[in-house]
Amino acid sequence: MANVTKTYLTDKNIRELKPKLRQYKKVVGSPKELYIWVNPSGIKTFFLRLKNDKTKKINEFRDGIYGVNEARKEAVDLLKKLNIGLSLEALSNQDQYSFKGLYDRFIKIKSDSVSSEYLKNIKRRHELYTLPNLAKLDCKEITSSKLSDMLRPLFNKHNTDQPTRLETIHRIINDLKNIFDLAIKDRYLTYNPAFKLEDEFPTSHKFNKNKGIDTRYSAIIDKNLLADFIKDLKYDNAMDLQTKRAIYLLLLTANRPANIVSAKWQDIDLNAKKWDIVATDMKMRLSHTTALSDESVKILKEQFIYSQNYKFVFPSMTTKTGYLNRDTLSKAIRTLNNGKYKGVATPHGFRATFKTTCTLNLSTLYRLGISEKTIEEVLAHKENNKITQAYERQRATFNTKLKLMQWYSDYLNNLENLGIGG
């Protein structure tokens, strides 16, 4: 009898399957019912081919995330359930109320109300901490104890030098409540296993307060040290010039690091000394106008020579975003003058430097017609009073903000010549 050769596909084989004008299928094998669809779009989807030409979709092939090993395991599990008498309809119902099914519905709902960047953060949390443990479970199998056992290892309460992850834990718990609420609305669940789960973990504020931990960003508030920092930054010849200009802009504008690195030329008017940031690019989702001092304008004019043909002020060829990574600024500050500012200064900390300097010089600022509201407007802090926020659309005029930012630039320049050319 002739030898029969069975070829089982590997991840490498699947990667090499090219899309065609029409969808086509290939046998994956082991079990024999396991196939994969290759779509014209390039998406490849595992499925079971059953009797009477019925099919059961399994999952999309994602190289390095979901491959043939995962598909084979899931295929065997599904075939076992079919073998004991469960129907395809029953399996579909199980999929709907599996944790993964509910999670997918939750993500779809969230996508309509949050930014794409925030949605990425939500997905990343669950891909790391919940889906590996819960994805295939029916939500009725998930208990409060199971959730607690899953989250507890994340709580790093003994090593106070490392993040406790408490904020992440509480965000996950809030997501879990919303996920299980979907099954409660359908009357598939009668209780929410995440109910009161937050009581098992202290808030990061309470934990840090009890441990005496100062979690604020490291910031320079001493005038002499600030003068030293400016001098070290000015005379550092090893630092990339683009990175140096970005740090200067951090110092001079008090903007958030994320806004500095992602700044776009289309939002900046150098003649008007104005930088308008759209709401979707702001942390608080409110549009913001930055007033640019003479020194800030000079820095941007310098950078314009190098990046005028790019969308971003600080472009990067090596990042997915197309602009400078925030970590580049952090590293540059940490390593400045042989690590002198490690644990002393951070990119975000320059906002605290600005705020503290303004607070200590309020009497001078009052005489210039500058109030605390102008300072808060420059920092783009959200108004805590919801009624005030609803009706007070502007806390300071642009000219008042410009006066403040020029005062601050002059203050820094008097501490130590900034070394910014004309």
Report the CATH number that the domain containing residue 143 is assigned in CATH.
1.10.150.130
pLDDT at residue 33, rounded to an integer: 92
**Dihedral pair phi/psi, residue 276, rounded to 5°:** -95, 125
**Dihedral pair phi/psi, residue 417, rounded to 5°:** -50, 120
Do both 384 and 325 map to the same domain?
yes
**With contact defined as beta carbons under 8 Å apart, do 130 and 98 qualify?**
no
Residue 156 has pLDDT above 70, yes or no: no
Do both 261 and 402 map to the same domain?
yes
* 421, part of any domain: no
**Tokens standing for residue 175:** 């997501």
Indicate the residue among 175, 190, 211 that finishes a domain: 211
Do both 74 and 130 map to the same domain?
no
When pLDDT is cut at 50, 70 and 90, the band that residue 18 belongs to is: very high
* 280, part of any domain: yes
406 against 388, higher pLDDT: 406
pLDDT digits (tens, 9 = 90+) for 261-289: 999 999 999 999 999 988 777 765 667 88
* 103, part of any domain: yes
Could you give the CA distance from residue 181 to residue 139 in angstroms, rounded to a whole number? 11
CATH number at residue 44: 3.30.160.390
pLDDT at residue 4, rounded to an integer: 38
Do both 54 and 103 map to the same domain?
no
Do both 189 and 131 map to the same domain?
yes
* 2, part of any domain: no
- On average, the pLDDT of the chain sits at 86
Indicate the residue among 56, 84, 112 that finishes a domain: 84
Residue 9 has pLDDT above 60, yes or no: yes
**With contact defined as beta carbons under 8 Å apart, do 24 and 38 qualify?**
yes
Please tell me which of 60-64, 175-179, 201-205, 353-357 the model is most confident about, judged by mean pLDDT: 175-179
pLDDT at residue 263, rounded to an integer: 93
Residue 71 has pLDDT above 60, yes or no: yes
Indicate the residue among 190, 211, 232 that finishes a domain: 211
253 against 280, higher pLDDT: 253
CATH number at residue 282: 1.10.443.10
In this predicted structure, which of 2-6, 115-119, 364-368, 402-406 has the lowest mean pLDDT? 2-6
**Dihedral pair phi/psi, residue 279, rounded to 5°:** -60, -40
Share of the chain above pLDDT 90, in %: 57
**Dihedral pair phi/psi, residue 173, rounded to 5°:** -60, -45
Do both 300 and 407 map to the same domain?
yes
When pLDDT is cut at 50, 70 and 90, the band that residue 201 belongs to is: confident
Neighbour order of strands in the sheet with 44-49: 24-27, 34-38, 44-49, 55-60
pLDDT digits (tens, 9 = 90+) for 136-148: 888 988 999 999 9
* Three-state SS sequence of the chain: CCCCCCCCCCHHHHHCCCCCCCCEEEECCCCCCEEEEECCCCCEEEEEECHHHCEEEEEECECCCECHHHHHHHHHHHHHHHHCCCCHHHHHHHHHCEHHHHHHHHHHHHCCCCCHHHHHHHHHHHHHHCHHHHCCCEHHHCCHHHHHHHHHHHCCCCCCCCCCCHHHHHHHHHHHHHHHHHHHHCCCCCCCCCCCHHHHCCCHHHHHHHHCCCCCCCCCCCHHHHHHHHHHHHHCCCCCHHHHHHHHHHHHHCCCHHHHHCCEHHHEECCCCEEEECHHHCCCCCCEEEECCHHHHHHHHHHHHHHCCCCECCECCCCCCCECCHHHHHHHHHHCCCCCCCCCCCCCHHHHHHHHHHHHCHHHHHHCCCCHHHHHHHHCCCCCCHHHHHHCCCCCCHHHHHHHHHHHHHHHHHHCCCCCCC
* 404, part of any domain: yes
Do both 264 and 391 map to the same domain?
yes
* 4, part of any domain: no
pTM across the whole model: 0.57
pLDDT at residue 391, rounded to an integer: 40
**Tokens standing for residue 130:** 């919940």
Which whole number is the average pLDDT over 34-38?
Answer: 95
Do both 267 and 392 map to the same domain?
yes
Do both 277 and 196 map to the same domain?
no
Do both 79 and 119 map to the same domain?
no
User: What total of structural domains would you count in the chain?
Assistant: 3
Which whole number is the average pLDDT over 284-304?
Answer: 88
Do both 192 and 128 map to the same domain?
yes
* 149, part of any domain: yes
Which burial class, exposed, middle or buried, applies to 381 when counting CB atoms under 10 A from its CB (0-12, 13-18, 19+)? middle
pLDDT at residue 240, rounded to an integer: 93
In this predicted structure, which of 212-216, 223-227, 306-310, 418-422 has the lowest mean pLDDT? 212-216
pLDDT at residue 96, rounded to an integer: 82
Q: Which domain holds residue 110?
A: 99-211
Do both 205 and 264 map to the same domain?
no
* 3, part of any domain: no
How distant is the alpha carbon of residue 243 from its chain centre? 22
Could you give the CA distance from residue 94 to residue 92 in angstroms, rounded to a whole number? 5
